[in-house]
Amino acid sequence: MVKAVIATGPDLPPQVRDIELPPVGPGDVRVRVAAAGVCHSDLSMINGTLAPRYPLVLGHEAAGTVAEVGADVTKVRVGDRVVLNWAAACGECWFCGEGEPWLCSAVEGAVSPASGATLDGGELYACMGVGGFAEELVAPERSVVPLPATTPLDLGALLGCAVLTGIGAVRNTARVREGQSVLVIGLGGIGLSTVMGARLARAGTIIAVDRGTEKKRLAEKAGATHYLEADPKLARQVRALTEGRGADHAFECVGRAELIRTAWQSVRRGGQCTVVGVGSRDDAASFNALELFHFNRRLTSSVYGSSDPDRDVPLLVREMEAGRLDLSTLVTHRIGLDGVAAAFDRMRAGQGARSLIEVAP
């Protein structure tokens, strides 16, 4: 039996419960979780944005140590440090064959697959196939990415979602070039990671936007050159900072149609607007046919930062080791498993960045 954070239904507070893990089968890995980040997608599992199956083990951004491996596992050994990959590609579908594992058919729509674990004898589902808000978990070998023994597991957990998504959106999806101007709307863990990605890309003007002044210090530490509070006149303010043109790139990291529209309007002619936030299917953004033609802007989304974790995690670790990437900037609260409900409250209020669950030393 291990403890885990369970969601039992929409809009119900999560509970810490004892669960029974499945046996480690061929190709499986049991991981002793050291740390897990609380991501907005976890909140989306219970606030109506996504529609998972319940009861659900929350959490998808986690790192830990391999405690047991099943037959035929070759990627890791007992004692290895790993970060969990919630978009574990099959390697066999058309998208994987095209070099786009983040769009893998096996992952698409897999919000809450069965985990094999049980709660009071009944079936349990795992958030994004991970269920990382737990003392231990069992996952397929393809769901773990090895980490060097020198990588701190608390910060390593952030590589599993926020950092891959934010930096990947800059590097892989938008391909921001040195000297270009960048606008980032929404400064949670993913938004701040996007700011970090812009700094690593040596962008020129990096404009960070959020509500209130609390996020200003975090944005500047992440690499922002300017901070603006969310405002109906934001597009005009952005143009004033970019020689009247608008930003070369805008990243919307919240997932709201209103902000997507604002990001779009803040981009110069021929620029690119990238939607990183996960929004609701009922929240529609609209564009007229003339503006689509006239402004020649590109509108796209970035799923998991267009990342291949087996390729990109080692690259990010090297950035950490070289001192170019300080993930401690993202962590504003350290909590235990029983602190998830409060972390969600802070998230709803727009307070802080990443709450990091410290599960095991």
Domain range summary for the chain, segments of one domain joined by +: 2-160+326-358, 163-303
Give the per-residue pLDDT at 213: 85
Structure tokens at 331: 């962590």
Fold of 163-303: Rossmann fold (3.40.50)
**pLDDT of 270 strictly over 70:** yes
The average pLDDT across 104-112 equals 88
The average pLDDT across 346-351 equals 91
Whether residue 184 contacts residue 197, with contact meaning beta carbons closer than 8 Å, is answered with no
Among candidate residues 304, 302, 309, 22, the one with its CA nearest the CA of residue 143: 309
The average pLDDT across 137-160 equals 96
DSSP state of 290: H
The average pLDDT across 58-84 equals 97
The average pLDDT across 273-278 equals 96
Name the pTM for this structure: 0.96
Give the per-residue pLDDT at 361: 67
Give the per-residue pLDDT at 151: 96
Q: How confident is the model at residue 292 (pLDDT cuts 50, 70, 90)?
A: very high
The average pLDDT across 79-106 equals 95
Superfamily holding 2-160+326-358: Medium-chain alcohol dehydrogenases, catalytic domain (3.90.180.10)
Helix (H, G, I), strand (E, B) or coil at 236: helix
Beta bridge partners of 31: 66, 137
pLDDT tens digits for 194-217? Answer: 999 999 999 999 999 999 888 999
Give the per-residue pLDDT at 9: 92
